[in-house]
Structure 1
């Protein structure tokens, strides 16, 4: 498994991400599924389990993956009382975004990938991760995404492009990230047979020293 950046192993980061509320876009999206127990969902890059827990409580057939063992342990801790120890061990597992070979093709109706794909360190890793997601999505399955934009300035300074690595920028505490504008994201996803369900948008949030811009998107796998 690809070595995770030390940022994601820090206890304070685990607790910080665990304390966040469930994603509002996800809550709105899952309210439209009439039969949660028949809907298989992958929380890809589950972090501290904020979304995994909600999906489990609402009876979705949920699985979760994260490259950080402390994050996996935190998520397991949160859902064990809901799913039971054995199911939790099976369903919440360590792994990278491009390491989904254990899941069968066309097996997930929804993949939740919030702040995950931008951790790719180059175009190859990005493509591998998206290809694996497309492989496990059912025809017509949906992919919910949040990725940082290269126009972010979390520390009040412009992000710096990494030489000889297109779309890779430095400036975030979690290390170099693969960042795309909204229109670039749509183009990249179309190459993999994923097309927007709603218009891809950007959201700006102020930080202590600057601002963070996130690209929010919802795609459907071509049937």
Structure 2
């Protein structure tokens, strides 16, 4: 199966325990969950799209030994309203989701929800579009503060390094790694923001 290369890097460097309980918040069709299911992890996922969750339930049921109750394991719900208990997960994945925040308040609500469901000492892996490295190429996309049109033509809620560092502090979190950004030929930049609760 496929897995985000930067998430796999966290696994290979030993930042994900063999018995980690994993949540993919904004899992889509489950791209990043398949690896963890095959490795025997207890996995959970949420997405706002019912069809995506239906597909995840189907293939996870075929793959997962020991995975039960697909309806409570894979749920249709937004990231900012995660219904899992506080401190439930060793690893929370939120890959290519935060840059769809409606505004700053929505971004804050989503990150607070991620922090709430992570265990103390748990890791939150996020990957999101940012302005880091392409500041001069951005155009405001609409009247909502924080939204910009990227050079690739897409509109995203864009953050910068200072914003991510301030959010890390506000969450009472510590960075697992320095914030890393990949510049895709000045068309967009994707940033890894990995932190521990």
Report the TM-score when normalising by structure 2: 0.85
- Residue 91 of structure 1 and its aligned partner are, at CA, apart by 1.1
- Residue 166 of structure 1 and its aligned partner are, at CA, apart by 2.6
Asked if 1:92 corresponds to 2:74, the answer is yes
SS in 2 for 1:133: helix
Asked if 1:195 corresponds to 2:174, the answer is yes
Asked if 1:44 corresponds to 2:44, the answer is no
Structure-2 change in CA distance of 1:43 and 1:196 (3 Å): same
Superposed, 1:1-223 pairs within 5 Å as 21-31=2-12, 32=14, 33-36=16-19, 39-83=20-64, 86-100=68-82, 102-150=83-131, 158-163=138-143, 165-170=144-149, 176-206=155-185, 211-221=187-197
- Residue 86 of structure 1 and its aligned partner are, at CA, apart by 4.8
Structure 1 unaligned spans of 5+:
1-19
Structure-2 change in CA distance of 1:213 and 1:34 (3 Å): closer
The one-character-per-residue Cα deviations of 1:15-72 (angstroms, maximum 9, x if unpaired) are: xxxxx83112222323424432xx2111011112111111111111110011112222
- Residue 201 of structure 1 and its aligned partner are, at CA, apart by 1.2
Instruction: Give, in whole Å, the separation in 1 of the partners of 2:43 and 2:139.
Output: 35
RMSD: 2.6
Instruction: Give, in whole Å, the separation in 2 of the partners of 1:64 and 1:86.
Output: 13
Number of residue pairs aligned between Structure 1 and Structure 2: 192
